């Protein structure tokens, strides 16, 4: 969705002069109303003000982007205002804001996030901001944005004739387990590298909102090769017979030019699809451990929506009962009817968490036949079915789900190979009868046999953590905090996060608190450093620094990746120490968190929230100071 498509001349004001933040908001809302897509002005204003109470939407560098989703919005739209004299919008950097955009989005979908991300991408260019501020007319203002979008997103405006004649030399697919940060950072890095090298490239992103900029059959036929920078399984059958490089999504961020050069020079193997999702690339050179990690991340990425949404519903139930003054006993979260509603629905979502994890691990390994086996195996792990108590006895939980997903997936691969010897006339009934029937019987026997042992291990680990002394818990908090920071979205980070979300289901709310605060520290520490120790960073790093305040407060650790990639030896240890301190202090202060995600927006359900803020501030400041000590001054200021 292009910015210029959301702007109308009626919703633009040049050379505005609001005296206060409140006046600026009113002026922008009036512009939105003039744009014709606000049905109820008062209701929309409530949404804008509610968002501002969570923290100012002024992100620094003179930019403010207030936004709200509301039932009063009939269609997505933008309002824009330039304020040459600036207005105090309570910006993170303390400077006045002179370039204001207001986003209006309907309740269905996440168009406001897409528009917000797009705006932030183009507004990071200082020359672009200067052109907007100096625009003499609304037409010129729109033209400046239009030209920037054409430059920044060339694939959207490339003419059909040019596409037909020239096509793209290189194609790419980017995907990460959560589909939030790594996916788009890798895509942008590859597009920038292609432009720099003079090579046409099209990148498909498999993000949390689904696949975007999808590669067409014609694209694939005409390209020199495809780069698959993904940490989860993607659809590979379409690339059969083409040259393909499969690698980690982080390589798409760190070495995009090298990947493109390997495709263009022909130094890429030809991919032959075998039908198994596990072989989702030219995987002969891919280690077994790497394959296991991708299968695991496929399960985790599909599990996260259930974890996050269900967890926040449960957290809301606790918040409602807290406000109502309900006693915090075993029935806490179910006393009031409103709390009971959220708690019940949240529990339903949570109950899908373990089966979905196992199901998608199995599917990643053995395609659709593996999905049934993994899903049922995960359900049997959740109920704890045994031969003596099929209805459930000792739940094996998270560990049992991992076992069911991997073992079930590989058993199905073996079964498929055995069935290859059957007459071809039976091929039609294999996927609808033989695979499901045999797979269900096998996984039922396996899980009923294994559940008692996995359940004992799972229970022992939970009891060990729950009965740790305070000093041991502090150490655990330090370890979890450091793990969230060491690879910022990689296997260590995801292992710590999954451990934290699993702990919520057993009442380990202090563990989840330590995990989240550890993940919030790296972007905030870097943002603080770019603000107070500017001499340590390049001009581009300083420009992008304020965005990390938002990323960190929103618990998006990946905001620190570009800085860590540029100077890993100094940035990663600094972030690790700061995150470890924050995680340890969170445990020391007995902070708890009943929601698995949300950053500062779920602080209302944080136990001992004041000291949680202290832990976050302490870790961020220590990280900032370490960066100041370890990083050398940059002479190119």
* Residue in 112, 176, 223, 591 annotated catalytic: 176
Distance of CA 5 to CAs 157, 246, 268, Å?
Answer: 13, 36, 40
Rounded CA separation 345/185 (Å) = 34
79: left (phi over 0), alpha (psi -120 to 50) or beta: beta
DSSP bridge pairs for 172: 203, 227
Q: Assess whether 67 carries a catalytic annotation.
A: yes
* 448 counts as catalytic: no
Phi, psi of 301 (to 5 degrees): -65, -35
Q: Is 73 helix (H, G, I), strand (E, B) or coil?
A: strand
DSSP string, 552-594: HHTT-GGGGHHHHHHSHHHHHHHHHHHHHHHHHHHHHTT-EE-
Place of tokens 């699993």: 502
Our measurement of the distance from residue 521's CA atom to the centroid of its chain's CA atoms, rounded to an integer in Å, reads: 16
**CB of 412 within 8 A of CB of 432?**
no
Non-local (6+) Cβ contacts of 508 within 8 A are: 462, 465, 466, 500
List all residues 6 or more positions away from 406 whose beta carbon is below 8 Å from its beta carbon.
Answer: 292, 295, 361, 362, 365
3-state secondary structure of 180: coil
User: Which tokens is 588 given?
Assistant: 């020391």
Look at residues 80, 76, 78, 79 and name the one whose alpha carbon lies nearest to residue 110: 76
Q: DSSP letter for 277, please.
A: T
Q: In a 3-state reduction of DSSP, which class is residue 210?
A: strand
Which amino acids are annotated catalytic? 67, 176
């Amino acid at each position: 969705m292009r910015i210029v498509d959301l702007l109308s001349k009626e919703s633009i004001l040049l050379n505005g002069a609001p005296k206060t933040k409140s006046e600026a908001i009113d002026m922008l809302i009036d512009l939105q109303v003039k744009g014709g897509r606000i049905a109820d002005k008062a209701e929309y204003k409530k949404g804008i003000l509610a968002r501002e109470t969570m923290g100012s939407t002024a992100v620094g560098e003179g930019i403010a982007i207030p936004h709200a989703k509301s039932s009063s919005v009939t269609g997505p739209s933008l309002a824009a205002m330039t304020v040459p004299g600036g207005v105090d919008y309570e910006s993170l950097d303390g400077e006045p804001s002179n370039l204001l955009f207001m986003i209006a989005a309907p309740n269905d979908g996440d168009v406001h996030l897409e528009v917000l991300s797009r705006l932030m991408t183009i507004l990071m260019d200082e020359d672009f901001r200067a052109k907007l501020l100096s625009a003499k007319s609304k037409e010129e203002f729109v033209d400046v944005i239009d030209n920037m979008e054409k430059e920044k997103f060339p694939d959207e405006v490339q003419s059909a004739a040019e596409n037909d004649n020239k096509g793209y030399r290189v194609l790419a697919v980017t995907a990460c387990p959560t589909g939030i940060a790594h996916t788009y950072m890798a895509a942008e890095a590859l597009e920038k590298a292609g432009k720099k090298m003079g090579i046409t490239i099209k990148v498909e992103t498999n993000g949390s909102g689904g696949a975007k900029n999808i590669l067409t059959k014609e694209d694939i036929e005409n390209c020199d090769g495809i780069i698959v920078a993904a940490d989860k399984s993607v659809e590979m059958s379409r690339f059969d017979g083409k040259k393909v490089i499969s690698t980690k999504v982080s390589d798409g961020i760190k070495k995009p030019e090298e990947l493109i050069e390997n495709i263009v020079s022909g130094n890429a193997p030809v991919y032959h699809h075998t039908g198994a999702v596990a072989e989702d690339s030219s995987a002969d050179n891919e280690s077994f451990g790497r394959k296991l990690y991708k299968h695991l991340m496929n399960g985790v990425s599909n599990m996260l929506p259930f974890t996050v949404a269900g967890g926040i519903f449960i957290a809301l139930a606790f918040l409602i009962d807290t406000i109502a003054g309900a006693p915090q006993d075993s029935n806490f979260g179910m006393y009031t009817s409103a709390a009971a509603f959220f708690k019940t629905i949240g529990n339903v979502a949570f109950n899908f968490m373990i089966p979905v994890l196992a199901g998608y691990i199995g599917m990643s390994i053995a395609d659709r036949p593996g999905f049934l086996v993994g899903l049922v195996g995960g359900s049997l792990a959740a109920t704890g079915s045994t031969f003596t108590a099929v209805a459930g006895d000792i739940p094996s939980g998270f560990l049992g789900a991992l076992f069911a997903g991997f073992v079930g997936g590989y058993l199905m691969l073996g079964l498929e190979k055995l069935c290859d010897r059957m007459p071809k006339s039976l091929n039609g009934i294999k996927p609808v009868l033989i695979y499901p029937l045999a797979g269900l019987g096998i996984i039922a026997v396996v899980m009923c046999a294994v559940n008692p042992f996995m359940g004992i291990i799972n229970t022992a680990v939970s009891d060990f953590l729950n009965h740790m002394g305070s000093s041991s818990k502090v150490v655990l908090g330090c370890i979890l905090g450091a793990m969230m920071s060491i690879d910022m979205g990689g296997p260590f980070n995801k292992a710590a996060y999954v451990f934290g979300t699993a702990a919520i289901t057993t009442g380990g709310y202090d563990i989840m608190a330590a995990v989240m605060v550890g993940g919030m520290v790296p972007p905030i520490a870097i943002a603080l450093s770019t603000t107070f120790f500017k001499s340590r960073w390049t001009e581009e790093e300083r420009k992008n620094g304020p965005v990390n305040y938002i990323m960190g407060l929103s618990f998006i650790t990946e905001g620190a990746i570009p800085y860590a990639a540029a100077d890993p030896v100094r940035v990663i240890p600094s972030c690790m120490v700061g995150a470890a301190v924050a995680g340890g202090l969170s445990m020391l202060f007995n902070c708890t968190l009943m929601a698995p995600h949300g950053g500062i927006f779920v602080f209302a359900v944080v136990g001992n929230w004041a000291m949680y803020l202290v832990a976050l501030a302490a870790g961020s400041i220590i990280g900032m100071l370490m960066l100041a000590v370890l990083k050398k001054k940059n002479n190119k200021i």
